[in-house]
Structure 1
Amino acid sequence: MDLVKYFLEELRKENIISENTINFYKSDLDYFQKFIKNNNLLEISQDELEEYLQHIKEKYSENSVIRKITSLKSFYKFLLKRELLKVSPIENISTSRKDIKVKKFIEERELKAIIDVCEDTKIGNRDKIIIKLLSETGLKIVDILGIELNQIKENNYRFFLVKQRNIYVLINLSEDLSKELKEYIERYNIDSKFIFGELDNQKFKTNFLKYVKKANLDRNIVPSMIKNRCNYEREKINNYHNLDEIEIFDEIKKEYFAIGIGDE
């Protein structure tokens, strides 16, 4: 018996929920079945379920994860009522937001993939610079778009000021990014008040999502996840500062081995 088909047909007969919701159920259940590669949905192991949950948390937004878990709960609750199984494998999985810990920062490989697909045009190089600024500074996009040309020139492209909570904060740039920013300004003869002209948050986000799609990344990624990564990396550094010298050495070794550097 095709349990998913049976479930959906019964929902339509009951005529309680909308066709749109039923289609969501179908999409989520088809995705689940395809992922676990198990045709017998009555014999799902906890390992298979945990692997699936980890997968969707890494790939999808919080709302999408909650929806996919809810679809599974509804499906297995239906099977329980029809006495097709005795215990739901997903019975104890929470859909509470505080329990759904979605990875909300961009990974290094994803960031590199997005940067690599930016074309060698004025717009492409502009967006590439913005992405690198977001990654290096951890600022909001509105702060990056508000960088004034005269100020960055006067400071030899090395730093600029940002007003945060009525206090001006000095933002230093790395030597490489400083050089790249200067080359961008000179190459395209930027002469507007703001380095990135009249570009607004929404337009940049639209371009960014196009780069994500072009990079063939397999999960939803938005610009704010770049800032989150910067904060995540800073937190790791702060944690190192709380370790003694031996612990720091051990942590660094782990990082090296993880990327294939160093001896066993």
Structure 2
Amino acid sequence: MLTDSFLDYLRYERNYSEKTVFAYGRDIAQLQEFAQGEEGNFNPVSINPELIREWIVSLMDKGYTSTSVNRKLSSLRSFYKYLLKQGVVDVDPLRKIAGPKKKKPLPSFLKEGDMNKLLDEVDFGEGFRGCRDHLIIEMFYATGMRLSELIGLDDRDVDYSASLLKVTGKRNKQRLIPFGDELKDAMLEYVSVRNETVSERSGAFFVRGNGERLYKSLVYDIVKRNLSKVVTLKKRSPHVLRHTFATTMLNNEAELGAVKELLGHSSLATTEIYTHTTFEELKKVYKQAHPRA
């Protein structure tokens, strides 16, 4: 039987483990079962692309993930590659078959209530470090800037009179980000405490106790430690606060194009992922609130 000879080939010539060989055999058996149900028999030589596509759809309907389906297709591709090599078939029925695309995970973000609790109720500590760490969280949330952009911010990049920040993003592309009075007051308070505490400094806006610019892992730890006080998200990174900024803006009726410019995205398609996030939230609210949801 063709399947048995293929599995022996994997076992003895390719030295695949028994677990792997079993998985290949199970995948082929699943197609066989489907073909028998649809056409009454299973003949690998006569399998056509239409049947393969119908099989893929049936797997997705049963709840298989795109990863699982693509793995099964990989097994079949190996099977037909073997049959081509043996001269059993002339054409691979999978040559024009594209597997289902993997869904991109939706961005993790904090709800507005969690952010308010973090900024208004959590104790960040006294003195320079407490003031700095609080401002780091607030600036990520208020501006949506990237980690590298926050670290790279210099004193000269802050225009208090115009309430604008000049940041340098990917590929050294610069953009201006507006900020409100609340963030302005927090920034001025930080600068005052910083200048009193750290006498010798670099030109960086955010500095360590020795006056040098912050580094990525330090900021990451500051964010992770403080987010852990209010949420149990697996991801507790600066990028989560960037996601939170974008989601909050869209939830409060900001235009997608404006959010794109504020985030420094080169493509609107990148920003659109947040519309899916907000829609998922709407679905949750609907299911919780509507009696017939």
TM-score by length of 1: 0.49
Q: Which has the higher contact order (CA 8 A, sep 6+)?
A: 1
TM-score by length of 2: 0.45
Bigger Rg, which one: 2
